[in-house]
Structure 1
């Protein structure tokens, strides 16, 4: 049960965003700026970073919704690839560049000062540029905030994967928004 009075039936981050539209607006602007672009990394890669950080933070809602979005972008119908990234990205078919960026994201999740010069050098050697590194750090930091917002208020999280799949399609089509079409998540 959520710690504050949220609209019934609205799971995850949407509940607190509907509760506080004035804070939802800048949060959605940030999410769209970080996730709804193919500058440097692809949208699917960006969603993988958010999914991975959310899994490290044990945020069930965020790792599932962003995993669903990543799966849509990456055409991973059964989510097996996203699951393998969460459990051991180093053993996946991801590029060395993406593995290096996930390493950086994992360090940011622990605390910003955990990112090492060696990680940055390795990412650059694997083809990452300053924009990729910047965006990785900011995505990881933002997801730590989003995860703590969702779990700190004890929002609800559906267990039906189809709910996440349907929401993922709406995010891909329309971007991030606190609007709930036709009263449905």
Structure 2
């Protein structure tokens, strides 16, 4: 049960219930997610969603790690095994050295911005990361720390089970975040 009374709470888990409670904040939050996770970028949409899912996993935010993990799976054509590998030990996961270096940076940001080291940045550059990729990795990680704390700080609920998030991953892949209406699915 959320710490505040949310409209249609039983139907709107995680951030969706919070966006329905305070719709004037949903547009800028969704716009930020749209730019970070879906706009044109060197990193693929699947890789950026992977960073979001990984940071959310480190923050123990079930809703966000599940939704963004499902979105990453949809973009990458993965059955969930790659996201599991990343969560277990990204250094051994079947991702590029560049992605491993960016996940390392994201993990440091999750602990606190000052945990990122010049050695991590150098390693990312040596693996082929460009400044825009490093920048966006840090911003995605920092933003998802905020999103995770928003979702969990108000005690929202999250469905349990991978299958509960597949449709959200498909919706994100197909429709994105910018026009997302948290009440759309219950207005039908």
Q: Is TM (by shorter chain) over 0.5?
A: yes
Q: Secondary structure at the match of 1:40?
A: coil
1:65-144 correspondence runs (5 A): 65-77=67-79, 79-144=80-145
Q: CA deviation at 1:179?
A: 3.1
Q: CA deviation at 1:22?
A: 1.2
8 Å Cα contact 2:17/2:182 also seen in 1: no
The normalised TM-score by structure 1 is: 0.95
Q: Secondary structure at the match of 2:39?
A: coil
Q: CA deviation at 1:85?
A: 0.5
Rounded to whole Å, the distance in 1 between the matches of 2:45 and 2:161 is: 24
Q: CA deviation at 1:163?
A: 2.5
Q: 1:182 aligns with which of 179, 182, 185?
A: 185
The normalised TM-score by structure 2 is: 0.94
Give unpaired runs (5+ residues) of structure 1.
Answer: none
8 Å Cα contact 2:12/2:182 also seen in 1: no
Query: 2:20 maps to what in 1?
Result: 18
Query: 2:167 maps to what in 1?
Result: 166
Q: Secondary structure at the match of 1:107?
A: helix
Q: CA deviation at 1:161?
A: 2.5
Q: CA deviation at 1:167?
A: 1.2
8 Å Cα contact 1:17/1:23 also seen in 2: yes
CA RMSD of aligned residues (A): 1.2
| CA displacement 1:115-160 (0-9 Å, x = unmatched) | 0001001100100000000000000000000000000001010114
Query: 1:4 maps to what in 2?
Result: 4
Give unpaired runs (5+ residues) of structure 2.
Answer: none
